[in-house]
Chain A
């Protein structure tokens, strides 16, 4: 990579760390360190919410998914605006007015210490692991494309993030998120402009969309009601609503964002900002992938995008690889000619000729994809790893095709996306460790300075833990889905407990046993009906908790000693 690109990356990292450290001034007490003294304006919290959710996996994996599979992944987010609207009138005011540090703290007030400890433990377990995955995903890719060791990439992402999160607390995390979000969006727009300018002169945006559309990449909506399909309109709308409600409403890494807002209305507005921008932003991310696919119709792409795998296959099977590469070059040339002819026919004004030209293009595209499948199977055989080549499409494009400067901005944006998600996770993991365990069970009374010191140590510990997981968790499955799959096991059930908290008659026994029943149900479904998409696990888990919890509460005498309708008031403190 050109030195100017490295300079941009270095300036970004230095600035983010310096800015984070400088914000440590206002964090001399727990409320400042964990909640920024509940003083942040809605737009800062809103950008922080978005930056936390948008990880490097989104920038690298989802764009790659757009290139290989098209726009249909966006259906995954159809439930997000609905979830945000529901949360902004239900859980957000409850949690904000309860003046809690963690979402799980509220569960002790409403139910019992056991339910709080169990949900907080599940959070630490799942988020501790997923923080490692969030670092590992971009680290593996950076290691492969730059030829570094994975541990060096992990250190590049992990060390600065741990430093500013540990010293600056949530204040540093939130303000860094704002800058990181701006950098990410700027990087995305820059790449769109660069791609479109890179098309041949006689291929316009309309031609590009028509050619991409003929391969099915612009087919966004799938209205089939099929529980085994992950990306359909209904799984996105229903399963997605439950997943997003659980993530934004009960996961401490997100709840902590809106607890830092300066009012309930600001907390609500910050969530609604995501509801406003998530689908358009995700459409942009996927569209970049689609446009990169079109770009590579006219510029020869590598047979394997993962350079490490390509090198290993070339060494182990030189003759087979050379034959495949030669066939790939020939078929690519045919596809390029067919794509140009399809674009020209489209401009010719004869619909029948345009359709026929697109048909010829489609046939060559299928042929090319068949050659690539052979190469991917060969790579899997040689390396013994799933190729996950899709995650290397965008990094390869960025490094080989973007002009100097833009490459640096995009790499900095990938680091920003990774750092913003990890920082929020570390911050939340530290909060739950200190507030839900240390301060609750080990040492209730101590000077503020003691808890602050323990909080910083906890942040550092979780940072080290995440870096260790990232270094050793190379074979972690599809980068895009692994985080969501892991969370889905607990997510729906934890949401169920919070939904149960809004039912007046529900009691602690119902909540605790209901939570276990919900998780057991999800486990049973994933074992006995493995084809059911993970998005539905959230619905199943939440419903199981509410049903079992309500019945058990009724069977054990309901909620004694509390008047009907007391839930909201008790939460309001």
Chain B
């Protein structure tokens, strides 16, 4: 297997994709929550 470290920013041990993946989960949860709040507030 190729040991690929090229996506690792200097000073950070975790690859960029892993950091983005965590943020994806957080942002999508917030996005769905906002859509749900929009529906609850205005979607009669």
Chain A interface (Cβ < 8 Å from any Cβ of B): 42, 71, 74, 78, 81, 84-85, 88, 97, 209-210, 212-214, 216-221, 262-266, 268-269, 272-273, 275-276, 279-280, 283, 358, 568-569, 572
Q: Which of B1-17 contact A (CB under 8 A)?
A: 1-2, 4-8, 15-17
A556 to B22, CA, bound (A): 42
Are the C-beta atoms of B27 and A269 separated by less than 8 Å? no
Q: Can you pick out 30 interface pairs between chain A and chain B where the beta carbons lie within 8 Å of each other?
A: A71-B35, A71-B38, A81-B25, A213-B42, A213-B44, A216-B43, A217-B43, A218-B38, A218-B42, A220-B35, A220-B43, A221-B35, A221-B39, A262-B6, A263-B6, A263-B7, A265-B6, A265-B7, A265-B8, A265-B17, A272-B17, A272-B24, A275-B24, A276-B20, A276-B24, A279-B28, A279-B31, A280-B27, A358-B44, A572-B1
With A216-B44, A272-B17 known, 5 other A-B pairs at CB within 8 A are A88-B21, A216-B43, A269-B17, A275-B28, A572-B1
Q: Determine the residue in chain B with the shortest Cβ distance to A279.
A: B31
User: Could you tell me the distance in whole angstroms from the C-beta of B27 to the nearest C-beta in chain A?
Assistant: 6
Of B20, B36, B41, most A-chain CB atoms within 10 Å:
B20
Of B5, B17, B24, B31, most A-chain CB atoms within 10 Å:
B17
Are the C-beta atoms of A568 and B1 separated by less than 8 Å? yes
Are the C-beta atoms of A283 and B44 separated by less than 8 Å? no
Please name all residues of chain A whose beta carbon is closer than 8 Å to the beta carbon of B15 when the two chains form the complex. Answer: 265, 268
User: Could you tell me the distance in whole angstroms from the C-beta of B28 to the nearest C-beta in chain A?
Assistant: 5
Q: Determine the residue in chain A with the shortest Cβ distance to B24.
A: A275
A559 to B32, CA, bound (A): 44
Please name all residues of chain B whose beta carbon is closer than 8 Å to the beta carbon of A210 when the two chains form the complex. Answer: 42
Are the C-beta atoms of B17 and A81 separated by less than 8 Å? no
Are the C-beta atoms of A265 and B2 separated by less than 8 Å? no
A273 to B20, CA, bound (A): 8
Please name all residues of chain B whose beta carbon is closer than 8 Å to the beta carbon of A216 when the two chains form the complex. Answer: 43-44
Q: Determine the residue in chain A with the shortest Cβ distance to B35.
A: A220
Are the C-beta atoms of B2 and A264 separated by less than 8 Å? yes
A63 to B21, CA, bound (A): 29
User: Assuming A265-B17, A272-B17, is B27 touching A220 (CB within 8 A)?
Assistant: no
A213 to B2, CA, bound (A): 52
Which of the four size classes fits the interface of chain B? 20 to 34
Contact of A221 among B17, B24, B31, B36 (CB under 8 A): B36
Please name all residues of chain A whose beta carbon is closer than 8 Å to the beta carbon of B2 when the two chains form the complex. Answer: 97, 264, 572
Contact of B7 among A42, A221, A275 (CB under 8 A): A42
Please name all residues of chain B whose beta carbon is closer than 8 Å to the beta carbon of A273 when the two chains form the complex. Answer: 20
Please name all residues of chain B whose beta carbon is closer than 8 Å to the beta carbon of A280 when the two chains form the complex. Answer: 27, 31
A220 to B43, CA, bound (A): 8
Are the C-beta atoms of A209 and B38 separated by less than 8 Å? yes
User: Assuming A42-B7, A88-B21, is B42 touching A269 (CB within 8 A)?
Assistant: no
A376 to B41, CA, bound (A): 33
User: Could you tell me the distance in whole angstroms from the C-beta of A168 to the nearest C-beta in chain B?
Assistant: 25
Are the C-beta atoms of B36 and A220 separated by less than 8 Å? yes
A221 to B31, CA, bound (A): 13
Q: Determine the residue in chain A with the shortest Cβ distance to B36.
A: A221
Interchain residue pairs A-B with the least CB separation, the first 7: A265-B7, A213-B42, A268-B17, A263-B6, A218-B43, A219-B43, A272-B20
Are the C-beta atoms of B21 and A85 separated by less than 8 Å? yes
Q: Determine the residue in chain B with the shortest Cβ distance to A219.
A: B43
User: Assuming A266-B7, A569-B1, is B16 touching A42 (CB within 8 A)?
Assistant: yes
Please name all residues of chain A whose beta carbon is closer than 8 Å to the beta carbon of B8 when the two chains form the complex. Answer: 265
User: Assuming A42-B7, A283-B31, is B42 touching A212 (CB within 8 A)?
Assistant: yes
Are the C-beta atoms of A219 and B39 separated by less than 8 Å? yes
User: Could you tell me the distance in whole angstroms from the C-beta of A99 to the nearest C-beta in chain B?
Assistant: 10
Are the C-beta atoms of B6 and A220 separated by less than 8 Å? no
A85 to B20, CA, bound (A): 10
User: Could you tell me the distance in whole angstroms from the C-beta of B36 to the nearest C-beta in chain A?
Assistant: 6
Please name all residues of chain B whose beta carbon is closer than 8 Å to the beta carbon of A279 when the two chains form the complex. Answer: 28, 31-32
Contact of A272 among B21, B31, B35, B39 (CB under 8 A): B21
Please name all residues of chain A whose beta carbon is closer than 8 Å to the beta carbon of B44 when the two chains form the complex. Answer: 213-214, 216, 358
Q: Determine the residue in chain B with the shortest Cβ distance to A262.
A: B6
Are the C-beta atoms of B4 and A220 separated by less than 8 Å? no
A207 to B17, CA, bound (A): 41
Are the C-beta atoms of A220 and B42 separated by less than 8 Å? no
User: Could you tell me the distance in whole angstroms from the C-beta of A68 to the nearest C-beta in chain B?
Assistant: 16
Contact of B4 among A219, A264, A272 (CB under 8 A): A264
Of A214, A276, A279, most B-chain CB atoms within 10 Å:
A276
Q: Determine the residue in chain B with the shortest Cβ distance to A75.
A: B35
Please name all residues of chain B whose beta carbon is closer than 8 Å to the beta carbon of A78 when the two chains form the complex. Answer: 32
Please name all residues of chain A whose beta carbon is closer than 8 Å to the beta carbon of B6 when the two chains form the complex. Answer: 262-263, 265-266
User: Could you tell me the distance in whole angstroms from the C-beta of B35 to the nearest C-beta in chain A?
Assistant: 5
A37 to B31, CA, bound (A): 36
User: Could you tell me the distance in whole angstroms from the C-beta of A492 to the nearest C-beta in chain B?
Assistant: 23
User: Could you tell me the distance in whole angstroms from the C-beta of B29 to the nearest C-beta in chain A?
Assistant: 10
A11 to B21, CA, bound (A): 38
